[in-house]
Amino acid sequence: MTAAPLLSDLRGVSLRSGQIALAWLGQASFALRVGDSLMLVDPFLSPHPGRLFPPPFGPEEAAGVDAVLCTHEHLDHFDADAVRSIAQASPASRVVVPRPLVSRVTDLGIAPDRVIGVQPGEPVELGGVSIHPVPAMHGVEVADAYTFGQELAGGLYAFVGYVIEAGGVRAYHAGDTIPYDGMEGWLRPLTVDVALLPINGRNAEREAQNLVGNLDHEEAAGLAAAIACDVLVPMHYDMFAANLGYPDRLVEVVIRDRLDLAITIPARGRPWIYTKAR
């Protein structure tokens, strides 16, 4: 199986200590080269009538992937068809999901020993990469939002984010979340360098359409500053016409509030390298 050129490029990047390579695939989907591993986080790669742009490559082209991480069960985060195809294209890959989703993955025909169910506070080591699950506050439907999903999952966290660490760099993928009490307490000890945060926000009009919301521009900037990360990368603002966010507003907040924070707004499908300066 020939890998998509974007993934081959990431695989071929030579990284020094203190560097990671990232490529934004749209919405909350990222490809990350961390240490010697190539990981996909929330890969939403299947066709969908509501998409405003096509996926950068098909899931069947996802060869050479070491791990797939999904934050929760919504289609644009746990794309079951894509996960199945990626697992076939990369037969040595592992799939990391919140523990309540494990059966959803094995039901796709993926062997149980390839699936890792996680919970906050239980780090996982994969190929020299440390993965630290942290809580996310979200909902499957607006009627059950905003919680950690424990009421829906037998007391387990149904929604998570991940702090991914290798080579002295830590990247935080928040998944879908709003702010919650104790959030900084989870994140500050993990010394996040790069924060991938949603900015599409939430309001009554969208919630009336059963769209469970996220951090808005002000909340994302405030969280990034509060956890003293180096770079904030906005996400989850571009895929669906009814649920957009606006990076220019994020930039305005950072300038207005004079936050000690850099913002990177990557182009979809173009790899870039973060180098830790501290």
pLDDT in tens, 69-97: 999 999 999 999 999 999 999 999 999 99
Q: Render pLDDT for 95-118 as a digit per residue (tens, 0 to 9).
A: 999 999 999 999 999 999 999 999
User: Residue 164's pLDDT band (boundaries 50, 70, 90)?
Assistant: very high
pLDDT, average across residues 136-165: 97
The tokens of 34 are what? 């961390």
User: Residue 277's pLDDT band (boundaries 50, 70, 90)?
Assistant: confident
What pLDDT sits at residue 171?
98
User: Residue 1's pLDDT band (boundaries 50, 70, 90)?
Assistant: low
Res 278 pLDDT > 80: no
What pLDDT sits at residue 12?
93
User: Residue 255's pLDDT band (boundaries 50, 70, 90)?
Assistant: very high
User: Residue 270's pLDDT band (boundaries 50, 70, 90)?
Assistant: very high
- Please, which residues have CB within 8 angstroms of residue 272's CB and are 6 or more apart in sequence? 21, 22, 23, 264, 266
Residue closest to 76 by CA, chosen among 116, 103, 52, 46: 46
User: Residue 150's pLDDT band (boundaries 50, 70, 90)?
Assistant: very high
| Angle formed by the axes of helices 217-226 and 247-256, nearest 10° | 50
The tokens of 43 are what? 């890969």
Res 180 pLDDT > 70: yes
Q: Which residues pair with 111 in a beta bridge?
A: none
pTM: 0.97
Q: How far is the CA of 189 from the CAs of 137, 226, 259, in angstroms?
A: 19, 12, 20
The tokens of 220 are what? 């994302």
Q: Write phi, then psi, for 190 (nearest 5 degrees).
A: -90, 0
What pLDDT sits at residue 2?
82
The answer to whether 164 touches 192, Cβ cutoff 8 Å, is no
Domains along the chain with CATH numbers: 5-265 (3.60.15.10)
User: Residue 215's pLDDT band (boundaries 50, 70, 90)?
Assistant: very high
CA distance 42 to 45: 9
pLDDT, average across residues 129-155: 97
